[in-house]
Amino acid sequence: MTRLDGAERLIEVYRRKAAHYDLTSRLYPVPGYPQRSQRLRTVRALGLRAGATVVEVACGTGLNFPLLEDAIGPGGRLIGVDLTDAMLDRARSRVAAHGWRNVELVQAEAAGFAFPRGVDAILSTYALTQVPGCGAVVAHGAAALVRGGRWAVLDLKTPDRTPAWLTRVGVAAVGRSASLDEWIGRRPWEVIRAAMREGLVDAGWEELCFGTAFLATGTGAGAGESGSR
């Protein structure tokens, strides 16, 4: 599979991070950041029911899996998609340790992943703004959702109406794999917001932690086949 330069860079970065990712993620983007509560808020925004089918885009080592499994139960289906083999190896170990039998792990570029039809929910946390073609990922997922299915994206952004120099200081600790200048200039959160509005019903946007993060949500119009709802 031919990968974009940006994707190749992400693979190398996350291969190096994989072994210690679960520990270092607790300090992301800065020590004391309310990451755990934001993840829980995102999962709750999906309105999951027992037996639901969920896709997590850029699932990493599976940090969200326990929250998702609690919601969907053993009768549900969880599909974790990630670009990096080393991160998926860690996710696979997590699945085995918990004895989950309803998890499928897929190594794929997010923009090229073929979402199964009839998905009840899709989420991505702290990852999608780094993905090349993040708007296309939102659109492809929206087309796969059942009517009433939910899409939720949690990620970081720069606060609005903040001087450029202060923005750089404030997000320098994030340690993103791409150039900080490129990430700020590209403003991928705006791409995600626009894609949510375009492809979903009742698109919502909530800024968190003084505008340093966002939770974007939306409801599927029913393009996908009937799911478990």
Q: Tens digit of pLDDT for each residue in 78-128?
A: 999 999 999 999 999 999 999 999 999 999 999 999 999 999 999 999 999
Asked if residue 115 lies in contact with residue 102, where contact means CB atoms within 8 angstroms, the answer is no
Full-model pTM: 0.85
- Determine the pLDDT at residue 178: 47
Residue 20, pLDDT > 70, answer no
3-state class (DSSP) for residue 206: strand
Residue 41, pLDDT > 80, answer yes
- Determine the pLDDT at residue 160: 81
Tell me the two tokens of residue 168: 């750089």
- Residues shown for the chain: 229
Residue 2, pLDDT > 50, answer no
Q: How confident is the model at residue 177 (pLDDT cuts 50, 70, 90)?
A: very low
The torsion region of residue 17 among left (phi > 0), alpha (psi -120 to 50) and beta comes to: alpha
Q: Where does 5-219 sit in CATH, by number?
A: 3.40.50.150
User: Distance between CA atoms of 116 and 189, rounded to whole angstroms?
Assistant: 25
Q: How confident is the model at residue 184 (pLDDT cuts 50, 70, 90)?
A: confident
3-state class (DSSP) for residue 216: strand
Nearest to 46 by CA among 22, 21, 64: 64
